[in-house]
Amino acid sequence: MAKAGLAFSLLAGLLATLYMIKAEALVWHVWHQLHPTDHHGLDLAHYQASIEAKPLSGYKNLSGITFNRETGTLFAVLNDMGKIIELTTDGVPLREISVQGVDDLEGITHIEQDYFVVADERESQLLLLQIGPETREVSINNAKLFRLGLNERGNKNFEGVSWDSLHHRLIVVKERDPKYVISVSGLYHPDQAQLNRVVVERMPQYDQAIKWVLRDLSEVSHHAQSGHLFLLSDESKLLKQFDESGQPMGSLALWQGFHGLHKSIPQPEGVTLDDAGNIYVVSEPNLFYVFKPQFKRPV
């Protein structure tokens, strides 16, 4: 009995240690580094941090971020301040936009022109907002609103949203319990005559891939040039790249010692990519990161 108890204690300790070091994510990441996949996406193995842990003074609870290719700037949301911050690609704040009537902003994506969609996690809803060059305040009373109706109010709902310009749809991730990826079409279309009704569909091709390796889903970013999807996990501290069929295509480890990081990213909550393939990550409470490829590769 004593030996059995000791064995059980040793096993429990081993499992706890493996969980603490995120062993499943580490093994997956190292395997892909040793067995690179030949594809037309981004070669994440050659990315290095060019800006690390830059604090955005005066702000807290950075949650989501998006790249606006028309202005060449970034827009980030603060999930308990009801604000959107426009930033340069070096992380310099340019302006604040107050969002009236929201409870828990978690994700943001630029669509085109002045149109953005933000995700309100607690209310499980998406808001189509118009933010012009001089906008300093927006209200949900003037927004097109769609409540997903898939979950009750809570803090484990929809964490991230990204615009898929190839298919004119939004891609939304649910954080956990369970975690999954869905598409939402019909909330916006460049040709307004094409709008009919909002259609919500599960994207099951990602279910198996995210089941064991990503402990949660914090954000999503669709890369138009390759058609690939990038899923960010706060708990695993990992950014994974998938092709359109759900096959994993590599990862970016957000841990100390990887990709030039001197310290692990504490709580990665938002990610976006620009047209050059640079990757921008924001972490609570107010940290800003940029990862860039060390050589140019066509996509």
pLDDT recorded at residue 113: 94
* Region 10-28 average pLDDT: 47
Question: Is the pLDDT reported for residue 97 higher than 90?
Answer: yes
Instruction: Point out which residues pair with 67 in neighbouring strands.
Output: 74
For the ranges 41-45, 51-55, 68-72, 201-205, which has the lowest average pLDDT? 41-45
pLDDT recorded at residue 14: 39
CB distance 161 to 108 below 8 Å: yes
**Contact residues for 147 (Cβ-Cβ < 8 A; gap 6+):** 123, 124, 125
pTM reported for the whole predicted model: 0.86
Q: Report the relative pairing of strands 137-139 and 93-100 from DSSP bridges.
A: parallel
At 111, the amino acid letter reads I
Question: Is the pLDDT reported for residue 4 higher than 90?
Answer: no
* Region 204-208 average pLDDT: 92
Question: Is the pLDDT reported for residue 149 higher than 50?
Answer: yes
pLDDT recorded at residue 154: 52
> What is the rounded average pLDDT for all residues in the chain?
84
Q: pLDDT over 70 for what percent of the chain? A: 81
Taking alpha carbons only, the member of 205, 159, 209, 203 closest to residue 185 is: 203
121 compared with 10, residue with greater pLDDT: 121
pLDDT recorded at residue 298: 47
**Contact residues for 132 (Cβ-Cβ < 8 A; gap 6+):** 114
pLDDT recorded at residue 125: 87
Left (φ > 0), alpha (ψ -120 to 50) or beta: where does 116 sit? beta
Question: Is the pLDDT reported for residue 207 higher than 50?
Answer: yes
* Region 174-192 average pLDDT: 85
pLDDT band at residue 60, thresholds of 50, 70 and 90? confident
15 backbone dihedrals φ, ψ, rounded to 5°:
-65, -40
Q: Alpha carbon of 38 to those of 210, 212, 275: distances in Å?
A: 21, 24, 21
* Region 270-292 average pLDDT: 96
For the ranges 35-44, 101-110, 174-183, 213-222, which has the lowest average pLDDT? 35-44
pLDDT recorded at residue 1: 56
CB distance 127 to 139 below 8 Å: no
24 compared with 100, residue with greater pLDDT: 100
pLDDT band at residue 290, thresholds of 50, 70 and 90? very high
* Region 55-65 average pLDDT: 92
Q: Is 35 exposed, middle or buried (0-12, 13-18, 19+ CB in 10 A)?
A: exposed
> Residue 62 and residue 281: Cα distance in Å, rounded?
10
Q: At what angle do helices 23-34 and 2-20 cross, to 10 degrees?
A: 60
CB distance 293 to 43 below 8 Å: yes
